[in-house]
Each structure stands twice: as C-alpha cells, then as structure tokens.
Amino acid sequence: MIQGPAALPDLPALQRARGCGRISVRAEDGRTRLSRLYQEGCAQIRLPDDADAPGPEAVLINTAGGVTGGDRMSWSAEAGAGARLTLTTQACEKVYRARDGSADIEAALVAGPGARLDWLPQEAIVFDGGGVRRRLDADLDETAELLACEAVVLGRTARDETVRYGEVRDRWRIRRGGRLLFADDLRLCGPIAEIGAQPAALGGARAFASLLLVCKEPGRFLAPVRAALGPGGGASAFDGRLFARVTAPDGFKLRRALIPALEALRGGAPLPRVWRL
C-alpha cells in the first residue's frame, strides 16, 4: 500500500476521474495553426494568445483539481511538418493521498519533419500517501526537435509537510526516425522520506526535475544549462540529445533553477505565461 506498512480493509470502489485531451497543429503560410482539438471528461485544453510566444501554447487543464489513486489522464499532441507547439499545465498538478492505487498520467507526442514540440508541464506536488505513475512517449522525425521537462515536489515545505510514504514513477521512451533514442525510468516507492535521504538518491532534497532536449548540436546549450542548474544539477550532451537532472530543497528553489535552464534550452524564448504568473 502507498500509505504505509499497515494494510487497509476491503472497501467499496470509488468513482474516479477520467480525462483525455488531444491536439494537433500544422504549419501554414509561415504560421502554426490548429488542425484538431479533442477533449473528454475532466481534460480540457486552452490556447491563450501570447504575443511573446514563439508559437501556439496549449494549456492542459485537469478540472478535477488534482489526481488520486485510480484516476486516469491521457494527453496527446502532434506537430506537423515545420510546426511548433508548446504544451504546459494551468498550475501544479496535485497528487493527493490515495486510499489505494496510483494515478496514471500518460502523454504521447508526435513531431513531423522540422517540427518542434516543448512538453513543459508545471511541477507535480505529491502529498503524503499519494501515488502517481507518469509515462511520456515521443515519436520524432529525424529532423524534429523536442524539449521535455517533468518536475516533482515532495510536499509543501512552507506548511512543514513531509512525504513519508508514496509512489512516484516516471517512464520516458523517446524515438527518432522509428528507433529508440532515449529511455529513462525513475522510481521512488514506499518509504520515500527514507529513500530520498540517501546520498545516492535525493540526498535529502524535496524537489527534483528531469530535462531532455533533442536537437542538432545540443552541446551548445550545455554551459548555460549547467550554470542555471548550479551545484544541485548535472547535465550531459551526447548523440543529438542533452539530458539533465536537478534537485533542490523545495519547490521555490527548484523553479529558480528550472526557469533559466528551460529558457536557455528554448533559445532565450520565455516560458509560457502560466509559468510566470
């Protein structure tokens, strides 16, 4: 059980949230335009105007107000040839204490020739006893680019919260030209506070993030990303991709490192407006 070592008695099944959102864009007359938009259940997608944005920004919304055990969210996005699309979330996703099971959040991304996709959800805040399993799958053309970031905050330090038990899983599978380019699995299960205190895990940090850039010559971003992440982070570039991880004592310090790092990886373009509110 996520909540700790004590087993719970058999309880009746509860109603759970379900959401599915899909968006596709295309390049036309030098601009990126909407091709298709679908939303179902508690998943909604909004496209606010932002004159400073390098392309359309899709804001993903979970109207359930958070996730808990048994909830299912599914997002998919496709950028056609030469199109550019940024995806983010309205706010930090709350992962509430679960009576049983974990919440599942899946994202499937497709980028065509010369397209660019930025997957930039805001942080997931995990409460004590919460569980979330996230999966990111991306299929890229040989000439497409991808920037992806997933961040986790273990409890709200301003409220003196401690995540003693829980489950956090992140699974990334990135393919380019039909071949596996990058795979990563992150798993924190059971006594998270105890595991996270280990030097080989989080070293006592309460917030962490993973960043991936797939593009031509990613090494040119290595120095500014390392400078932005500081001593709590590390980054390496190899074979058309740059990968980085960073840890921080709390969500505020994590964001202070993430914002300049992500802006550097976006070529100086600002993050979506919802990140700056």
Got the DSSP string for 131-180?
A: EEEEEEEEEE-TT-EEEEEEEEEES-GGGT----SEEEEEEEEEEETTEE
Q: How confident is the model over 225-241, as a mean pLDDT?
A: 95
Residue 16 has pLDDT above 60, yes or no: yes
Q: Retrieve residue 75's tokens.
A: 């997002």
Please state the domain count of the chain. Answer: 1
Instruction: Report residue 88: phi and psi, to 5°.
Output: -145, -175
Per-residue pLDDT band for 157 (boundaries 50, 70, 90) equals: confident
Q: CA-based Rg of the chain, rounded to a whole angstrom?
A: 18
Q: What is the pLDDT of residue 1?
A: 40
Q: How confident is the model over 78-94, as a mean pLDDT?
A: 96
CB 210 within 8 A of CB 217: no
Tell me the pTM.
0.93
In a domain, 17, yes or no: no
Q: What is the pLDDT of residue 254?
A: 96
Cross-strand pairs, 103:
132
In a domain, 12, yes or no: no
3-state SS class at 60 = strand
CB 171 within 8 A of CB 143: no
Per-residue pLDDT band for 13 (boundaries 50, 70, 90) equals: low
In a domain, 11, yes or no: no
In a domain, 186, yes or no: yes
Q: What is the pLDDT of residue 4?
A: 52
Per-residue pLDDT band for 159 (boundaries 50, 70, 90) equals: confident
Instruction: Report the percent of the chain where pLDDT is more than 90.
Output: 85
Nearest Cα neighbor of 121 from 170, 79, 72 is: 170
In a domain, 161, yes or no: yes
In a domain, 194, yes or no: yes
In a domain, 14, yes or no: no
Cross-strand pairs, 106:
74, 135
In a domain, 4, yes or no: no
Sequence length of the chain is: 277
Q: What is the pLDDT of residue 174?
A: 98
Instruction: Report residue 53: phi and psi, to 5°.
Output: -75, 140
Per-residue pLDDT band for 50 (boundaries 50, 70, 90) equals: confident
Residue 201 belongs to what domain range? 23-276
Q: Cα 151 to the chain's mean position, in Å?
A: 6
Residue 217 has pLDDT above 50, yes or no: yes
Question: Dihedral of the CA atoms 116, 53, 227, 233 (nearest 10)?
Answer: -60
Residue 8 has pLDDT above 70, yes or no: no
